[in-house]
Amino acid sequence: MKKVLITGAGGFIGSHLAEYCVSRKIQVRTFVRYNSRNYWGWLEQSPCRGDIEVLTGDIRDYDSVFSAMKGCDSVFHLAALIGIPYSYVSPLAYIKTNVEGTYNVLQSSKELGLKNVIVTSTSETYGTAQYVPIDEKHPLVGQSPYSASKIAADQLAQSYCRSFGLPVRIVRPFNTYGPRQSARAVIPTIISQILAGCRELKLGNVTPTRDFNYVKDTVRGFWEISQAKEFLGETVNIGTGTEVSIKDLVGSISRLLGQKVKIIQERQRIRGAETEVDRLCCDNTKLIRATGWRPQYDLEKGLQETIPWIKKNLAAYKPDFYNV
């Protein structure tokens, strides 16, 4: 890589990835959603802000995507709608952003002859685990409009590799957490409520398990996948290979914060029986065998870096409000 475009770089994982690429001495151009304030999301506070080129546009607009990609040899495509609850409210928005947006990246990459196209997937495409740990051969099950849109985007990316020889790699992270994550995710939800003085936590289902991966490990995984020739046209998981229930997660966080809490399940936060993904646990064998990547953070170490950041930025959260 000499010059890379990162879509969705104003967001949680994208901003960390942009900084990581800068640390690798890569020229970084970022693509963030146009807004009238010229606001760049988390890049506004980035220590690498002066080393990053920022372009604004809309991932749903082919012309702006094509223009942003000119002069780049690689692209990390992270721009997406990712909130599961809102996908029930507006499924079409997810199709336009996640499917059409991915098409815009793929077609632009094809027309411009990019050498490396990395598309971001999600462990939600697997649905509830039919076996664990979940490897890349696990069936794909759309249990929400969000996951269905990501399945469609992944299949479209693979079709461009097969049909046109586009050098596509699909990164499938399990549940990433860390500084800058939005309040719609469960770890910031728990931490922000406790820091705000709540002793009765408002949550949804607490029995499902997730494989939580610290953002720095996820970003390193993105990089390793992008560099591995054997992953051309392949999908690769990033995860720790361990799972924890939401109930036990609350226990870990409340212990680190030195607070006793009670869980209150709110109806509006509970996903239906047919849509709830009950279990996710990553098989990361493919990534480890090819690259030597291994997670450097266990859950406690990752939480110890996440909690102080959320405490410092608590004003950016709304602990009493259900973030769809």
Of residues 63, 149, 141, the one with CA closest to residue 99: 149
**Rounded CA separation 117/165 (Å):** 11
Give the chain's domains with CATH numbers: 3-176+213-238 (3.40.50.720)
Task: For residue 20, count other CB atoms closer than 10 A to its CB.
Answer: 18
| Mean pLDDT calculated for residue range 28-45 | 95
- Name the band, by pLDDT with cuts 50, 70 and 90, for residue 95: very high
Q: What angle do CA 16, 101, 286 make, to 5 degrees?
A: 55
Report the percentage of the chain scoring pLDDT > 90. Answer: 94
**Which pLDDT score, from 0 to 100, does residue 323 have?**
76
**Rounded CA separation 141/279 (Å):** 13
**Rounded CA separation 321/324 (Å):** 9
**Rounded CA separation 129/62 (Å):** 36
Mean pLDDT for the chain overall: 96
Q: How far is CA 30 from the centre of its chain?
A: 16
Amino acid identity of residue 300, one-letter, is: E
What are the tens digits of pLDDT across the range 296-309?
999 999 999 999 99
Of residues 53, 46, 50, the one with CA closest to residue 71: 53
**Rounded CA separation 110/123 (Å):** 27
What are the tens digits of pLDDT across the range 306-319?
999 999 999 989 88
**Which pLDDT score, from 0 to 100, does residue 252 have?**
98
Is pLDDT of 89 > 90? yes
What are the tens digits of pLDDT across the range 233-244?
999 999 999 999
**Which pLDDT score, from 0 to 100, does residue 160 have?**
98
Query: Could you give the residue ranges of the DSSP H alpha helices within the chain?
Result: 12-23, 62-69, 84-89, 91-94, 101-112, 145-164, 186-195, 215-227, 246-257, 285-291, 299-312
The answer to whether residues 179 and 12 touch, using CB atoms and an 8 Å cutoff, is no
**Which pLDDT score, from 0 to 100, does residue 134 have?**
98
Is pLDDT of 261 > 80? yes
| Mean pLDDT calculated for residue range 121-133 | 98
Is pLDDT of 79 > 90? yes
- Name the band, by pLDDT with cuts 50, 70 and 90, for residue 271: confident
